[in-house]
Amino acid sequence: MPHADRLQQDLDYLSRTVRHRERPVGTPAIYFLWALIVLVGFALPDLAPRVAGAYWCVVGIGGGLLSWWLGARDARVTGVSDPELGKRYGYHWLIGGIGFLLAALPVALGRAPIESAVGTFMLVAGLSYAFAGLHLNRPILWSGLLMLAAYGVMVVAQPPYAWTFTGIAIAASLLWAGLSAQRQRRAGALQ
């Protein structure tokens, strides 16, 4: 192994050890990206339901790949590489994606109408975000809890424009998480 690579691995190990007790705040650009994606995507079931499935199929996968790239770029820019944490992120969101595919399975097989199954996507998203908030980035815990609350409201009350209002609330919480992450990073850089 070249000396420079070994030195970089040693520095990454020391950095992880020093920061072990710190919770990662996440990449602000990823929060902002998903705030926009959610704002548009959650309004679609209320405003243009025929487009919603295609939107999430394309933008969900594309947003995931773009998030991966933004996270890798952020690691390069900050100079802190943590392959173990990167794998945890990757596996977490891969499992979430599998959950979405499984939630779509009854609709794809013609065993459930889309109208009755669509709320399950909110449940999967809420659990994915809430668990990510517990185990990866605390700021998105609130987005997950909002999604879970919205799922409960949708199932019990079925209010009009529930998806749109939920999307606005979640986008605002993701925007807040991104701004919070930026603020924490600036504060850490000043120390």
List, for residues 114-133, the tens digit of each pLDDT value. Answer: 777 788 888 999 999 999 99
pLDDT confidence of residue 128: 94
As a whole number of angstroms, the longest Cα–Cα distance in the chain is 63
Average pLDDT of 64-81?
88
Whether 122 and 154 have beta carbons less than 8 Å apart is answered as yes
Whether 74 is covered by a domain: the verdict is yes
CA pair distance 183, 78, nearest whole angstrom: 15
Whether 81 is covered by a domain: the verdict is yes
Q: What percent of the chain has pLDDT over 90?
A: 47
Average pLDDT of 36-45?
95
Range of the domain at 109: 26-190
CA pair distance 9, 3, nearest whole angstrom: 10
Whether 15 is covered by a domain: the verdict is no
When pLDDT is cut at 50, 70 and 90, the band that residue 26 belongs to is confident
When pLDDT is cut at 50, 70 and 90, the band that residue 85 belongs to is confident
The number of domains in the chain is: 1
pLDDT confidence of residue 55: 96
Whether 21 is covered by a domain: the verdict is no
pLDDT confidence of residue 191: 59
Average pLDDT of 45-49?
92
pLDDT higher at 73 or 23: 73
81: pLDDT strictly greater than 80: no
Residue type, 90: G
Q: What is the dihedral of CA 45, 138, 173, 35, to 10 degrees?
A: -60
17: pLDDT strictly greater than 60: no
Give the tokens for residue 83: 């392959």
Whether 7 is covered by a domain: the verdict is no
Whether 140 is covered by a domain: the verdict is yes
pLDDT higher at 31 or 188: 31
Average pLDDT of 91-112?
91
Which H/E stretch holds residue 177? helix 162-190
User: Of 155, 156, 154, nearest to 165 (Cα)?
Assistant: 154
pLDDT higher at 14 or 79: 79
Specify whether the backbone of 37 is left (phi greater than 0), alpha (psi in -120 to 50) or beta. Answer: alpha
User: Of 137, 13, 135, nearest to 82 (Cα)?
Assistant: 13
Burial (CB < 10 A; 0-12, 13-18, 19+), residue 85, is middle
Residue type, 182: Q
Whether 107 and 154 have beta carbons less than 8 Å apart is answered as no
Whether 64 is covered by a domain: the verdict is yes
Whether 3 is covered by a domain: the verdict is no
What predicted TM-score, i.e. pTM, was given to this entire model? 0.80
14: pLDDT strictly greater than 70: no
pLDDT confidence of residue 160: 92
